[in-house]
Amino acid sequence: MTHPHAAPLTFPHDFPVTRKWPAAHPDRLQLYSLPTPNGVKVSIALEELGLPYEAHVVSFATNDQLSPEFLSLNPNNKIPAILDPNGPGGQPLPLFESGAILLYLAEKTGRLLPADTARRYEALQWLMFQMGGVGPMFGQVGFFHKFAGKEFEDKRPRDRYVAEARRLLGVLNRHLHGKTWLVGDDYTVADIATWPWVNNLIGFYGAADLVGYAEFTEVQRVLQAFLARPAVQRGLAVPAG
């Protein structure tokens, strides 16, 4: 909340991040990201909602995420982050954490969350399930199967995370029986948060056989429906380059 005597924030001048990533379209929402599972959550949501936005690449190869300009937006030095010049009360809003950004975009537009209070909280519980379980655990599988951890001779850490990934896939598989999406017929931010991680686990991480993905037929069905959405296909490639 703006202090009653504070000068209103102006965009882009009051935000150092725009000095490193100048806004060609300062009237649009600014997205600072990479096409990773967490990053594409936000670009997919923006594409689904049809909100005008401008995407900026935060290159890990050059440690952009550790630059003072990016840290001024997200002190946790993680992507994605946004800067909405048309935030609450007409004031610019900087925001980080993919789950918080998804909730903000849903509430800003009145979409991607059920209007019914009970179903809204059902969507939120599955969003939190992704944030607290699916993302961190699948990411650890990726580390121990694809990246530096694969060189570890001791496979007990890998197997621990593989077992937990299988358990989480089982939870999803049982829940999705007879449902179109995680909240029944409602396509929500919970789906936009979850399915990029499942897609990454079996695709980029190459861990389908490791986690026994063939067993989870309901997960397979819904992932394919998700990947068939045009907005998802566009969002998965943002930011380009």
Question: Residue written as tokens 């998700």?
Answer: 226
- CATH code (residue 148): 1.20.1050.10
Last residue of a domain, one of 57, 81, 109: 109
Instruction: Please tell me the total count of domains within the chain.
Output: 2
% of the chain beyond a pLDDT of 90: 93
% of the chain beyond a pLDDT of 70: 97
30 pLDDT above the threshold of 50: yes
> 179 with 75, same domain?
no
Question: Residue written as tokens 């600072």?
Answer: 32
Mean pLDDT of 144-169: 95
* DSSP string covering 84-111: ETT-GGG--EEEESHHHHHHHHHHHHT-
> 84 with 135, same domain?
no
Rounded Cα distance between 220 and 60, Å, is: 31
pLDDT in tens, 31-82: 999 999 999 999 999 999 999 999 999 999 999 999 999 999 999 999 999 9
pTM over 0.75: yes
Mean pLDDT computed over every residue of the chain: 95
- β-pairing, 29-33 vs 53-57, is parallel
Residues whose CB is less than 8 angstroms from the CB of residue 96 and which lie 6 or more positions away in sequence, other chains included: 73, 74, 76, 78, 80, 81, 82
Backbone φ, ψ for residue 89 (5° rounding)? 70, 15
The whole domain housing 96 covers 17-109
Kindly state whether residue 105 falls inside one of the protein's structural domains.
yes
Kindly state whether residue 134 falls inside one of the protein's structural domains.
yes
> 133 with 182, same domain?
yes
Last residue of a domain, one of 68, 92, 109: 109
Task: Provide the pLDDT confidence category of residue 2 given band limits of 50, 70 and 90.
Answer: very low
Kindly state whether residue 236 falls inside one of the protein's structural domains.
no
Determine whether 16 is exposed, middle or buried from the number of CB atoms within 10 Å of its CB (0-12, 13-18, 19+): middle
pLDDT of amino acid 3: 53
pLDDT in tens, 180-206: 999 999 999 999 999 999 999 999 999
> 121 with 105, same domain?
no
Rounded Cα distance between 148 and 137, Å, is: 16
pLDDT of amino acid 11: 83
> 215 with 122, same domain?
yes
227 pLDDT above the threshold of 50: yes
Rounded Cα distance between 232 and 47, Å, is: 7
Count Cβ atoms below 10 Å from residue 82 Cβ, excluding itself. 24
Kindly tell me the number of DSSP H helices and DSSP E strands found in the chain. Answer: 11, 4
Backbone φ, ψ for residue 113 (5° rounding)? -140, 135
Kindly state whether residue 235 falls inside one of the protein's structural domains.
no
Going across the sheet that includes 29-33, the strands are: 53-57, 29-33, 81-84, 93-96
Kindly state whether residue 201 falls inside one of the protein's structural domains.
yes
Mean pLDDT of 94-99: 98
- Lowest mean pLDDT: which of 9-18, 24-33, 206-215? 9-18
Determine whether 170 is exposed, middle or buried from the number of CB atoms within 10 Å of its CB (0-12, 13-18, 19+): middle
> 125 with 28, same domain?
no
Kindly state whether residue 1 falls inside one of the protein's structural domains.
no
Last residue of a domain, one of 109, 138, 163: 109
Burial 92-102 (b: 16+ CB within 10 A, else e): bbbbbbbbebb
* DSSP string covering 150-189: GG-S--HHHHHHHHHHHHHHHHHHHHHTT-SBTBBTB--H
